[in-house]
Chain A
Amino acid sequence: MSAVAITMDMLMYTCPRCKTCTGTMHPGEERVESVCPAFERYRYFTYAGGGKCYTAQGLLEGALQPDEDMAEVIYHCTLCKACSEQCAAHSAEPSEIARQVRRELVAAGYGPPEAARGLVKSVRQNDNPYGAPRRMRGRWARKLGLRDAGKEKVKTLYFVGCTADLVPARNHFALNTVKLLQAAGEDFGILGEEEFCCGATVFNLGCAEVFEELARRNIERLNSLGVERIVTSCAGCYSVLAHAYPEVARVEYRVVSTPEYLDEMLREGRISPSRPLDLKVTYHDPCHLGRYCGVYEEPRRILQALPGVELVEMRRNREKSWCCGAGAGVKTSYPDFALWIGEQRVREALETGAQALVSACPFCEGNLSDTVEALGADIRVMDLTDLVLQSLG
């Protein structure tokens, strides 16, 4: 074992291999639905949540050393946390164990996978995983006249996130969120070129040192702004800012996701959707919003509040949701596998008869859009903010 200790209570040493972690198998479930993409695709127990506990045991006991074989298994996990949600023993979180094993792999030089190393390098060099120069940050906002939260005091910071900021196809997350914040009369600003990557990518790839350095710098910076709350439209940013950062240092702000924010605005009457949309939609729970942060009902309440929107659920929803396939470096490292995962989800969405597959995460939208395109499926992939904005007229 190297630098990162895997604690005994995480090991689920006595995982009984009951495979409850792989599907919806608890008493009362009407049917068994697979929830573990890696196990469903590769069928070896090792890919399941319980299997990750065995891998950790092997590492701890010295029976296994970090190597390419281990990396191959562990990096095929999207860290979607479905196994942790289902585990009947409830004694450990296999997803967290997998993240810890990734740290061991990185420390030993076997992680992250080759294809994902560029992401880490870019985070180090450019403060974003996309290889974009810092000056590209905030270009989408340059003509919007938004306030600079680094220079003037605002109540709310909109933390845009690298994907919405730097990937043109996902800029609409940022543009929509800004319009909605304005519609709600929010006192807000952004950081523009001074916003750094939240570190979700390196966190999930197991690059602990890079993440911690980044997190400390961000926490210090964000604390210094004196904002009351941070709104973010990225599920990955939200999960890390809200849950991983407080593990690193004290934070002096509250973090909310766009769905939580919009839900609050609707309840307070600060935004009032009125334009009928005449659309049947289904909602995909992003893992980092749902299972990581428990945000399940807010997006549904929002969709149900939009005139003319009919919400139909997929078989696997909320805690039992099937991952989109993009997470934890899988999209970059194993794009075919990511598309396979996305295909299962898109086909499930098509079963509902929905015209639109709505989510609240730029990563989910990216992979699901790629999947829809690859399949030639007749369904639109949309963000929650697209619909809210349309309904505001």
Chain B
Amino acid sequence: MSVMQSQVEPRLAEKAYRELVEALGEEKVTRNRTILFSYSGTALPIPKTMPDIVVSPRSVEDVQTTLKIANRLVVPVTPIASGTLEPSVIPKAGGIVLDTYAMNAIREINTDAAYAVIEPGVSVGKLSRAIAPYNFRTCLGSFPPGNSALLNYTLRGHGTHRSSGIDSEILGLEVVLPDGTLVETGSKAFSQKFPSATWHSPWGPLPDLRAIFLNACGTYGVVTGGAVRIYDRNEVQTAPLFAFDSYGDAVRFMVRVSRANLVEHVVTWHWGLVTTVNVLAAGEMEESDDFSLLFTMEPWQKPGDRPYNVAIPMYTGYAEDVEVHRRLLEKVAAENGGRPFDEEARERFPGAWHYWNSYAVEHQPCTAFMRGFAVGFGFMQILYAEPEKVVDLEDWGLKHVYNGGLTFGTTYYSHCIDQGRTIFLRITPFVDPVDEAEHARAVEVYKSYIAEGMARYGAVPVRYDGINNYVEWAGGFGKLMRLIKQAVDPNNILNPGLRIYEGGW
């Protein structure tokens, strides 16, 4: 696979390295080539780029020092923490990778106001286990337990109470700007004048600037901490399953149960994903005939022996309430052509059933699907669309991706967001991890899927990918983004590879 070289002039990189070592010490700064390479990219089929330096800050002051040096010398900085499959972690311009994963303190667990204040290196697993003794849980998110909780929450598409309107678990952020200024958002913004100020509210009398750091992939500032929502573990946690023979029926079910306030969240899985995760969780991929179904059937076909979709409504509460809600869910499912699927799933798809129970009921960060990545779970397109349009998008999208010349199968999952005002659809082709030509095809399929999905169905991608130039496509909004970027980061040192702002560096 190709590896691009840094665009930073070697003498400038050398100067930056010397200054950083002098300021932070050798332990936190490296240009060891083997280390640089491991920060050059991810398993995504996007070319790697070698950074010049990797910095591992241990404190807010370390981040401030790094940014001040980088800003003065005008050297690109790509901030990362969880280092997973987001395109934003690739240092496309070279320069400095700022790996904040070593900043891993849980600063506060506030059981009164139900939030935790954490640093970027606090993993989902660490946070989940730390709050469990207080009878709290994290949001539902299927990310692996080693990932940064805070920085995953800054991406769109994570969250637990999406059905009732929350699509970010972030209450407030602590961010360092390129000139070293420390910014705290929401109610915490006033802590310098009023030390009693805490993180409890994302809002205040001023505009909600927290949002410019969400989904921004470190282009406006480097997140060094923040407050995230945590949730009571209620008396009963449950996730009854329902089977549907069409995606349209499943979407209508999701929208209805969300608007009727019957669930905290509801997600629908395509049969291919049910099949895959069932096999992955059992660890029998190579021997499984069932898994081969994914490669022998067109994904839009209805398999005769299993439902086309499985919907997983998730909710918690007192036992009496949960029981009533279950009956109502069954009623809404029947009205939309669905049927209870719990018992059948437990028997026929025990791996998937275990996954749903650990993830949705026990609120465990999951690992079962990670094996899928290791066999080519490469590229995952997320679009949001309105309910009726997302049904058409699913039909067109499956065919578009599947017929795009990629070797492996295609499947998806779909979340109901904001009481069904918009629906999340993530169609996932499996990409051969070592076939460069297939990588190129995957990128083309990705680009055309996004562009046509937006044009045909009014859909919108929910994460910045550095492949399509959404800022350019966003008209006046894009202009505003550039103006803000120009004001905050005039040298364009923060993640310039994402091309939010073309000037400066």
Contact = CB atoms under 8 A, between A and B. Distances in A.
A57 B40 CA distance: 12
B372 to A, nearest CB: 8
B34 A64 contact: yes
B400 interface: no
Contact of B375 (A14, A44, A64): A14
Contacts of A15: 43, 373-374
B146 A69 contact: no
Determine chain A's interface SS by DSSP, over half rule.
Answer: loop
B235 to A, nearest CB: 21
Q: Which of B1, B50, B373 has the most CB of A within 10 A?
A: B373
A73 B362 contact: no
Contacts of A17: 42-43, 82-85
Contact of A88 (B83, B132, B371): B371
Interface string B362-398: 1011111011011111100000000000000000000
B30 A44 contact: yes
A74 B32 CA distance: 12
A14 B129 contact: no
Interface string B65-94: 000000000000000001111000000000
A325 B3 CA distance: 35
A25 B3 CA distance: 32
A14 B38 contact: no
Interface in B121-141: 123, 125-126, 129-130, 132
B367 A20 contact: yes
Contacts of B54: 44
A63 B33 CA distance: 10
Given A20-B145, A63-B48, A14 B374 contact: yes
Contact of B126 (A32, A54, A63, A73): A32
Contact of B83 (A12, A19, A58, A69): A19
Contact of A16 (B35, B43, B56, B101): B43
Contact of B38 (A8, A30, A51): A51
B313 interface: no
A43 B32 contact: no
B433 interface: yes
Interface stretch (A89-97, A237-245, A374-382, A385-393): A89-97
A58 B50 CA distance: 11
A192 B83 CA distance: 53
Interface string A64-94: 1001011011100000000000001111100
B297 interface: no
B125 A25 contact: yes
A278 interface: no
A29 B130 CA distance: 11
Contacts of B37: 46, 54-55, 58, 63-64
Contact of A69 (B33, B126, B283): B33
B434 A70 contact: no
Contacts of B145: 18, 20, 25-27, 32
Given A19-B147, A54-B37, A88-B370, A13 B43 contact: yes
A95 to B, nearest CB: 16
B146 A25 contact: yes
B247 interface: no
Interface in B1-44: 1, 3, 30, 32-35, 37-40, 42-43
B184 interface: no
Contacts of B99: 43-45
A29 B367 contact: no
Contact of B1 (A16, A19, A61): A61
Given A13-B433, A13-B434, A89-B371, A25 B33 contact: no
A28 interface: yes
B371 A91 contact: yes
Contacts of A70: 33-34
A113 interface: no
B38 A23 contact: no
Contacts of B377: 14, 16
A89 B373 contact: yes
A15 to B, nearest CB: 6
A201 interface: no
B198 interface: no
A48 B46 CA distance: 22
Nearest to A54: B38
B146 A20 contact: yes
B146 A19 contact: yes
Q: Which of A58, A72, A73, A90 has the most CB of B within 10 A?
A: A58
Q: Which of A27, A45, A73 has the most CB of B within 10 A?
A: A27
Interface string B143-181: 011110000000000000000000000000000000000
A366 to B, nearest CB: 27
Nearest to A61: B1
A135 interface: no
Interface of A: 8, 12-23, 25-32, 43-46, 51, 54-55, 57-58, 61, 63-64, 67, 69-70, 72-74, 88-92
Q: Which 6 A-B pairs have the closest CB atoms?
A: A19-B146, A88-B370, A27-B364, A89-B374, A91-B374, A18-B144
17 contacts: A15-B43, A16-B43, A19-B123, A20-B146, A22-B146, A25-B144, A25-B145, A28-B364, A31-B130, A32-B123, A32-B129, A44-B38, A69-B33, A72-B34, A73-B32, A89-B370, A91-B374
Given A45-B99, A88-B367, 4 more contacts: A14-B375, A15-B43, A26-B367, A46-B38
